Amino acid sequence: MRKEHPLSEIAWADLQQLSPNAKAPHLAAKDGRLFHVLLAQQFNREQLDAIGELATNIRFIAKNEGGLKFLQDLLAHKRAMLYFTQPSTRTFLSFCAACQILGVKVGEVRDTATSSEFKGESQEDSVRTFSSYFDFIIMRTEVGGLAERMAWVLSNSDRPIPIINAGSGKDQHPTQALLDIYTLQRSFEEKGGIDGKTIVFVGDLLRGRTVRSLASLLTNYRNVRQIFVGPEKLQIGRDVLDMLEAAGVKYELSEDFRKAVPLADAIYMTRVQDEWDVEKGESKRIDISKYCFGVKHLALLKPAAVIMHPFPRRGEISPEVDHDPRAVYWRQMRNGMWIRAALIAAIFRRDAAIQEYYEESV
């Protein structure tokens, strides 16, 4: 029985040696379908198209009461544990809302000061406890690689249940990247899709996990050019550039924000991730004022381009920009709810039922 589950056939030490691409097949169910969702590298173009379509179907079905009732019955027998020991507003709430859309009941631990970890319990024991009461775990943690470790522990236990990574350390935030891709799919729906577009990433690219995961998902599209713009000290890491080179993706590095704005089909703004400062206050010494999008930049931006941000924002985008139709970050945020509902529905194999209902109701 245990052998049926992903990650039960590989030793932890061997798994850790693998590249993210090589790890990906170990996270899927035996039939290749989604099980643990930990890395952006788990998704190919076909799956990205399918999950976007599923999110759109859910979005349309949820527009009326009958549709909502149908959705709420789909996974009414499932329970989710939201284990969020790092601060979160949108990811936490959109996962909650996604669960509610599908009828999934939720439990939560948001602060280890209120759980037995405070008494010295290991995270392994905490997660095994959750698996006794819930059918899957959605986790956010500041510890890079922890979601992977927990997935391996559960897959080798008597209760192997899926783990969804809702942000781990500085390394990955795959579900944010999925909602970013969904936002790009929707934005460019009548403009030839994501293929051939130029995506400009701005800000703290070194420590921002959303950028790392999205840069990886974008390698699934043809002729996408990625431009990384930020102060030298916060420029994108070598591992991301190696990944892009291996995938044959064109990229550029720049410190010139003004020059990059007119090149963008999508501009992806990010905040300084100062919680990762090694020396207290070190980010304050970096001048980021040149990497903020203000009203004056709107004139430089292509008429069909979009402005995105994973949020929370601080000064990177002036609120006055919100009124421009190219500012899609609020829609991007709401997309998180639909794409997370689609992801959960796909893991628990309700995608065909949703598709069928959608086709009957349009």
Segment interacting with ligand NCD (CB under 6 A) among 48-56, 125-133, 283-291, 306-314: 306-314
Question: Is residue 323 flagged as an active site residue?
Answer: no
Question: Is residue 69 flagged as an active site residue?
Answer: no
3-state secondary structure the chain: CHHHCCCCCCCHHHHHHCCHHHHHHHHCCCCCCCCCECCHHHCCHHHHHHHHHHHHHHHHHCCCHHHHHHHHHHCCCCEEEEEECCCCCHHHHHHHHHHHHCCCEEEEECCHHHCHHHHCCCHHHHHHHHHHHCCEEEEEECCCCHHHHHHHHHHCCCCCCCEEEEEECCCECHHHHHHHHHHHHHHCCCCCCCCCCEEEEECCCCCCHHHHHHHHHHHHCCCCEEEEECCHHHCCCHHHHHHHHHCCCEEEEECCHHHHHHHCCEEEECCCCHHHCCCCCHHHHCCCHHHCECHHHHCCCCCCCEEECCCCCCCCECHHHHHCCCECHHHHHHHHHHHHHHHHHHHCCCHHHHHHHHHHHC
Is 310 among the residues that bind ligand NCD (CB under 6 A)?
Answer: yes
Site string for ligand NCD, 161-180 (x = CB under 6 A): ------x-----x--x----
CB of 174 to ligand NCD, least distance (A): 11
How many residues belong to the site for ligand NCD (CB under 6 A)?
11
Active-site annotation holder among 56, 85, 91, 210: 91
Question: Is residue 91 flagged as an active site residue?
Answer: yes
CB of 1 to ligand NCD, least distance (A): 36
Is 90 among the residues that bind ligand NCD (CB under 6 A)?
Answer: yes
With CB under 6 A as the contact rule, the residue among 70, 228, 291, 311 that binds ligand NCD is 311
Question: Is residue 26 flagged as an active site residue?
Answer: no
Question: Is residue 90 flagged as an active site residue?
Answer: yes
Segment interacting with ligand NCD (CB under 6 A) among 155-163, 222-230, 284-292, 308-316: 308-316
CB-nearer residue toward ligand NCD: 244 or 272: 272
**Residues near ligand NCD (CB under 6 A):** 90-91, 167, 173, 176, 209-210, 271, 310-312
Would you please indicate which residues are annotated as catalytic (active-site) residues? 90-91, 119, 140, 173
